[in-house]
Amino acid sequence: MHAAVITFPGTNRDGDIARALKQAGAKVTHAWHADPELPAGTDLAVLPGGFAYGDYMRTGAIAARANIMDAVRAHAAKGGYVLGVCNGFQIACEAGLLPGILMRNAGLKFVCRMQHLKVGRTDTVFSSGYTAGQVIKVCIAHGEGNYVCDDETLTRLENENRVAFRYCDAKGDISKENPNGSRNAIAGIYSENLRVLGMMPHPENLIETLVGGTDGKGLFAGLAAA
């Protein structure tokens, strides 16, 4: 697996996610927002967390129109893998790679804390390191994570089993501890072909026991092995 980690002005989790991918055994190269192409041989384009373009206008909106995003859209259209985390999820939605939008948290506060997630399907390259229904503990850090889409899109996502992760409590109850008001407690979704994943939580920050846990490792292990 060759991952290209894209840096936009204001991205700040690029180093973390590159490290998580490398630790899992993936080859990692870096790309810049103004680049017209992804590095040759890219299997996975990574949109990291941060505050691209200062979150001006709408989170992810300006980054989604950056030069390199045409290459990312072309990569996705050819069936290439794309992972968007936090601000990267917002960018992926704005770029039309995933449906819906991330709105201001319902409680208006920036939420930065540990958070349990319930894993959805496990037959994707992103989730093969987990078991179905597994409850994992990772961290969240966002002000705009409130997933919104129209009813028709929500029905499609559910019917097509495209919800990758949902917020839940330690026991896996998804009716508890929704940190931002997301519809159906959605924390992450897949594209139709299951090759694009967008998620608000940060698995890349939970890969060392030293900093609170290793539940994020499963995602990168599955990816690196693909």
Partner 1 sequence: MKARVIVTLKNGVLDPQGKAIEGALKSLSLEGVGSVRQGKVFDIEVETQDKSRAEALLKQACEKLLANTVVENYRIEVVG
Token pair 């997630």 in the structure block, residue:
117
Annotation says 86 is catalytic: yes
Contact with partner 1 (CB under 8 A): which of 70, 150, 158, 173? 150
Interatomic CA distance for residues 120 and 158, integer angstroms: 11
DSSP string, 75-144: HHHTT-EEEEETHHHHHHHHTTSSSSEEEPPTT-S-EEEEEEEEE----STTTTTS-TT-EEEEEEEES-
Q: Write the CA distances from 153 to 60, 83, 89, 108, 174, integer angstroms.
A: 20, 20, 17, 25, 20
Q: Does 111 bind partner 1 (CB under 8 A)?
A: no
Element spanning 30, H or E: strand 27-32
Quickly count helices (H) and strands (E) in the chain: 5, 11
Which of 108, 113, 175, 209 is the binder for partner 1 (CB under 8 A)? 108
Q: Is 2 in the site for partner 1 (CB under 8 A)?
A: no
Query: In 3D, which of 73, 115, 113 has the Cα closest to residue 91?
Result: 73
Q: For the segment 59-78, give every residue that binds partner 1 (CB under 8 A).
A: 61-62, 65
Active site residue 116: no
Residue 148 Cβ, how far from partner 1 at the closest point, in Å?
6
Q: Which is nearer to partner 1, 25 or 107 (CB)?
A: 107
Residue 41 · residue 2 · CB < 8 Å? yes
Is 204 considered catalytic here?
yes
Q: Is 148 in the site for partner 1 (CB under 8 A)?
A: yes
Number of residues in contact with partner 1 under rule CB under 8 A: 20
Q: Which of the residues 33, 75, 86, 142 is marked catalytic?
A: 86
Assess 105 for contact with partner 1 (CB under 8 A).
Answer: yes
Nearer to partner 1, 149 or 174 (CB): 149
Provide the minimum distance between the beta carbon of 181 and partner 1 in the complex, in angstroms, as a whole number: 7
Q: Does the protein bind partner 1 through residue 156 (CB under 8 A)?
A: no
Q: Which residues contact 108 (CB under 8 A, 6 or more apart)?
A: none
Could you say which residues in the range 85-104 bind partner 1, by CB under 8 A? 94, 99-101, 103-104
Question: Which residues here bind partner 1, judged by CB under 8 A?
Answer: 57-58, 61-62, 65, 94, 99-101, 103-108, 146, 148-150, 181
